[in-house]
């Protein structure tokens, strides 16, 4: 098992460019795995943990419903946003500045081959990061992601998740609202859920956060919970 994980921060990056780079890393890991099985070798498969932010973009997963985007082409232009149908699970979501987007590209054979545990571990890293800022968060039964007040009618989502996993190699990941402009969520039915609110750390605390500081804490928690050796 190779626990070494290369950490990369792309900063603000165009969504299509980031997706293409993800696919390249994903394919690199899959090629090594396939060669190992074909040739009976044991070459270590690479792992990556990528953080970034995107300009305003809406993405629709494979199982999503296009009608959950409430903007037409002109509406997207008016909001300076773009729209992509992509190859992750889940429905529609929004990415934009002030949001930490995380793309773990991991060979789960190096960690654990359980996609449900994988999602719960991503959630837990965000939950414990929020705890450091005095924000109590948890899970909403039946839904992925991280929620606040999940046990009552004020339930609101602070982090969405949508992943792809093939040959136990992951891509795509999570979106964590730190200082995100929440008005952009009004143009979609977020994750196909029309009766729950969306929130951010800024909204919960009443002030903007140092996103680089939040990234640093989240990175540490992900490494600890997965047993990563970050490089």
Which CATH number does the domain housing residue 169 bear?
A: 3.30.930.10
Confidence tier at 193 by pLDDT (50, 70, 90):
low
Confidence tier at 17 by pLDDT (50, 70, 90):
very high
Ramachandran area for residue 132 (φ above 0: left; ψ -120 to 50: alpha; else beta): alpha
Query: What is the predicted pLDDT for the residue at 192?
Result: 66
The Cα 106–Cα 44 span in angstroms is 12
pLDDT tens column, 123-173: 999 999 999 999 999 999 888 999 999 888 899 999 999 999 999 999 999
Query: What is the predicted pLDDT for the residue at 142?
Result: 86
Mean pLDDT of 7-26: 97
pLDDT tens column, 42-67: 999 999 999 999 999 999 988 889 99
Residue 87 tokens read as 């190859």
Judged against a pLDDT cut of 80, whether residue 191 lies above it is answered with no
CA-closest candidate to residue 187, choices 100, 98, 88, 76: 76
CA-closest candidate to residue 140, choices 160, 168, 110: 160
Q: What letter does residue 184 receive in the DSSP assignment?
A: G
- Range with the lowest mean pLDDT among 53-67, 108-122, 200-214? 53-67
In the set 191, 201, 211, 228, the catalytic residue is 191
Mean pLDDT of 202-224: 98
Check if 191 is active-site. yes
Give the largest Cα separation in the chain, rounded. Answer: 57
The domain in which residue 185 lies consists of 4-230
Q: Which residues contact 116 (CB under 8 A, 6 or more apart)?
A: none
The total of structural domains in the chain comes to 1
């Amino acid at each position: 098992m190779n626990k070494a994980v290369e950490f990369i921060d792309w900063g603000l990056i165009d969504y299509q460019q980031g997706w293409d780079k993800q696919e390249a890393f994903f394919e690199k890991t899959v090629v090594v795995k396939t060669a190992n099985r074909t040739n009976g070798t044991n070459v270590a498969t690479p792992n990556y943990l990528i953080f970034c932010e995107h300009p305003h973009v809406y993405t629709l997963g494979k199982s999503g419903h296009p009608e959950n985007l409430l903007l037409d082409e002109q509406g997207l232009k008016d909001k300076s946003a773009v729209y992509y149908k992509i190859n992750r699970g889940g429905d529609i979501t929004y990415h934009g500045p002030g949001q930490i987007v995380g793309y773990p590209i991991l060979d789960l054979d190096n960690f654990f081959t359980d996609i449900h545990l994988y999602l719960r571990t991503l959630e837990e890293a965000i939950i414990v990061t929020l705890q450091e800022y005095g924000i109590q968060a948890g899970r909403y039964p039946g839904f992925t992601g991280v929620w606040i007040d999940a046990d009552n009618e004020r339930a609101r989502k602070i982090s969405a998740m949508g992943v792809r996993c093939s040959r136990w190699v992951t891509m795509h990941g999570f979106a964590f609202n730190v200082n995100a402009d929440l008005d952009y969520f009004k143009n979609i039915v977020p994750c196909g859920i029309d009766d729950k609110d969306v929130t951010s750390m800024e909204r919960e605390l009443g002030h903007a956060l140092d996103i680089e500081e939040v990234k640093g804490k989240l990175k540490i928690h992900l490494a600890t919970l997965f047993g990563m050796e970050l490089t």
